[in-house]
Amino acid sequence: MSNDDPRERILQAAGPIFADRGYKASTVRDICAAAGVNLAAVNYHFGGKEALYRETVIRAHPNRLENRFTPDWPEGTLVEEKLRDFIHSMLTRLLSLDATAWEWKLLMREIMHPTPFCRELLEDHFRNGFRVLQGILDEVLPETMPLERRQQVALSVVGQCVYYRSACHVVPMVVGDESYAKNFDIPRLTNHITHFTLAALGLVPPLGRVKARQQAATRRHGQPQVVG
């Protein structure tokens, strides 16, 4: 490493090691050896392994853990626009990193196997975004809908976005590389997930309405009918 700052060299070395091995299996000795510093450097610059790990997680995804989605919509902004903005922001944050990068691997490892010293950090981050989404949906969901159903609706939106991150290697196998490159970029996925969600919320016509009416007309008259 050419960086002359020992603290920065430690962070750069710690990221890939924590991502590959996890917190417990990673040793300060190995990190310091990779960074080219002495063993005391981690305590001196960070105060210990736990603090180094926490800062490495923050470093891994600065746009995800520091610059949170804090919308400032003018009064009267339509729910459709708010939902589209939220989905676009979430997809951008999810899909902006290579799935093989150590930054992504470290965050996924922390989400799947949380450590106590990063739990509060991640909970605060994810709850912030969830509150924004819940507020958008609450503008159109029935007031009588129980809280758990509201949460399930919000998580269904989140799930659609997360799928395209977690299955980023699978989707091209299913639809083909050419179709994936052409039709599954962030703007098109934003349009699809937004429209799909709006249809579920009843804010736009259901996706199958026209086809269902055509099929019903065919059954009644024995041949396809033009349905307006």
Tell me the per-residue pLDDT of 36-55, one tens digit each, with 9 for 90 and over: 999 999 999 999 999 999 99
pTM of the shown model: 0.74
- The reported pLDDT for the residue numbered 37 is 96
User: Which is more confident, 216 or 227?
Assistant: 216
DSSP string, the chain: -----HHHHHHHHHHHHHHHHHHHH--HHHHHHHHT--TTHHHHHHSSHHHHHHHHHHHH-HHHHTS-----PPTT--HHHHHHHHHHHHHHHHHSS-TTSHHHHHHHHHHHS--HHHHHHHHHHHHHHHHHHHHHHHTTS-TTS-HHHHHHHHHHHHHHHHHHHHTTTTHHHHH-HHHHHHH-SHHHHHHHHHHHHHHHHTSS--TTHHHHHHHHHHHHHSS-----
Lowest-confidence pick of 16-30, 34-48, 58-72, 104-118: 58-72
Lowest-confidence pick of 14-23, 122-131, 159-168: 122-131
In percent, the amount of the chain with pLDDT more than 70 equals: 84
Average pLDDT (24-43) is: 96
- The reported pLDDT for the residue numbered 215 is 63
pLDDT tens digits, 87-116: 999 998 888 767 678 988 898 888 888 888
Assign 216 a pLDDT band (cuts: 50, 70, 90).
low
Assign 226 a pLDDT band (cuts: 50, 70, 90).
very low
What are the structural domains, with CATH classification, of the chain?
6-60 (1.10.10.60), 63-213 (1.10.357)
